[in-house]
Amino acid sequence: MDTNVPYMISVKNLTAILDKIQKAGVPEAFGLDFLRDLGFTSSRDRGVIKMLKYLGMLDASGKPQAAYREFTNQTRSKYVLADRLRAAFDDLYLSDKAAHDKSAEELKGWFKSKTGSGDAVATKIATTFKALASYADFSKSPTHIEPPKPELPQSTPPLERQQSSHRDLMNLGLVYRLEIHLPDTQNVETYRAIFKAIREELMG
């Protein structure tokens, strides 16, 4: 864990910023201009950019990474954020797997000891972490979210499968052409027997 942990001066708009990120398109780079475009012009909101970089959602230049793109999927966003928090604050989660359930006051002491920060900064770090954790969903990892399963066809009896297959073939509009090589004979009964056998085979 990088002990140079960023923080937001105020987390008042953090939830709204995260909501807006999900609804907006993915920018070429996430900087102050894009933050303003989202509707957040206060200097108190700027810390979210450093926070997203710390979480690995943006690279050092502000370019959105795979985790950022996943976060814009609203069905997975809260799980993605939980995963990024676990990864970025791995030392914290080594000390307590349920660190996100701790209060900001409880987290303050841990961050103060880990980062060497004073009370004021440690409080802001803990408050920022807690606000992000409150938005996230730690019930499961996005990698464990099962994709929707395709509906499987119900079991069909063999006879019905054959009839269904026959209907499918008929719907294809196939044309069958049969070539029959008849024996050279004057016996009409021979021909009748051949045609009767062909009819029974086709109708069967």
User: What string of pLDDT tens digits covers the 204 residues of the chain?
Assistant: 888 999 999 999 999 999 999 999 999 999 999 999 999 999 999 999 999 999 999 999 999 999 999 999 999 999 999 999 999 999 999 999 999 999 999 999 999 999 999 999 999 999 999 999 999 999 875 454 444 444 445 554 555 555 555 555 455 555 556 666 666 555 666 667 777 777 776 665
Q: Cα separation of 181 and 189, whole Å?
A: 16
Q: What is the pLDDT of residue 148?
A: 44
What does R_g of the chain's alpha carbons equal in angstroms? 34
pTM above 0.85, yes or no: no
Residue 70's closest CA among 149, 136, 139, 2? 136
Q: What is the pLDDT of residue 143?
A: 52
Domain ranges across the chain: 14-144, 162-203
- Tokens of residue 103, six digits: 């209060």
Q: What is the pLDDT of residue 177?
A: 61
- DSSP-assigned letter for residue 30: -
